[in-house]
Structures are given as C-alpha cells and as structure tokens.
Amino acid sequence: MNSIVLMAEVLTDPELRRTPDNQSSIASFLVQFAGGRSEDAPYRIKVVGWNNLADEIMEKYHKGDQVVVEGRLRLDVVDRGTYKEKRTELVAQRVHGFGSGGSTATAPISSASAPAKTSSRTAASNPPAAQTNVVPMANTYVPVASPVADAPDYDDIPF
C-alpha cells in the first residue's frame, strides 16, 4: 500500500491551476522537511491537491506554515532527450496545519466509505473508516535485551 504522512514546512505559496476542460482544480506547493541525519540537508518535495482539497489548500496555507500531509507518493519520469528525469510528488488526501493555524483540509471521501456523522461523545468509540486497518502499537513491542559480556562483537565481521 502506498501511503505517507509527512510533517513539513511550506516553502512556497500554493499555486492553483485548472485542467484544460475546467472540471478540476489543482493546487501545488513545495514543502521542506528534515533529513534523516543532522548533517543531511533538508529534503524538498512537491505536494499536489485536487478539487475541493485544492481550494481549501489555497485558502488555508501559505509560505512558512507548518503542516502534516497525508497522501501517496507518485513518481513521474520525464524524457529530456538525452536523459530521463525522475520527479517525485506527494498527492495529498489530507492536509493538517499545526502551530498557530491548526486547520485541516481533507479530500472528499466517497459516500460508500464515509462514516456516518456522530456526536463528539460517540466519535471516540467509532473510528473513521480510513483508520479501521490500523494495528495497535502494543502488539509490536519488542523488549530490548541488555548487552551480555560474552556476546560476540559483530562489528568485526568482514563483508
């Protein structure tokens, strides 16, 4: 399953475009997030939102905002004649602001999979349909053993 949740800073103000038939709107913006190690440069990726989500992104998010983006990764290959360029983008399904804004933009869910509206008191006991396949972290606990003096040093094994 292709799914990603990314916490990042918005680097550019979102741009809104329309498809040639003027049926769909597309918002795109660039985000930046920390590298895997402290000495790594920050990574940047283009985020794309469609239709109602695109309109909400344009209204709510601006350069410098901190966001959490839920979506899927897409890889495009562009033929440049002498070489092929690979471009990665994140197709957003939800965008959550945090910090001072705290707003959320969400792509529409089809009516077949949309959960019924409930009061806030019963919402905790009825998770949304998108979260029903989440595995609780308690089932993935692995105890860490303390080092043993007689244990072999695997760092000295040549490969």
What are the domain boundaries of the chain? Answer: 1-108
Whether the pLDDT of residue 132 is over 60: the answer is no
Under 8 Å between Cβ of 15 and 28: yes
Whether the pLDDT of residue 99 is over 60: the answer is yes
The closest of 46, 14, 48 to 33, measured between CA atoms, is: 46
Whether the pLDDT of residue 136 is over 80: the answer is no
Whether the pLDDT of residue 130 is over 50: the answer is no
The pLDDT of residue 98: 83
The closest of 70, 68, 58, 64 to 28, measured between CA atoms, is: 58
Q: Where are the alpha helices (DSSP H) in the chain?
A: 51-60, 120-123
User: pTM for the whole thing?
Assistant: 0.60
Q: How far is the CA of 56 from the CAs of 38, 50, 90, 107, in angstroms?
A: 33, 10, 17, 9
The closest of 44, 41, 40 to 88, measured between CA atoms, is: 44
CATH fold of 1-108, please? OB fold (Dihydrolipoamide Acetyltransferase, E2P) (2.40.50)
Q: List 72's β-bridge partners, or say none.
A: 91
What percent of the chain has a predicted confidence (pLDDT) above 90? Answer: 48
The pLDDT of residue 36: 82
Tokens of 32: 């930046």
What percent of the chain has a predicted confidence (pLDDT) above 70? Answer: 62
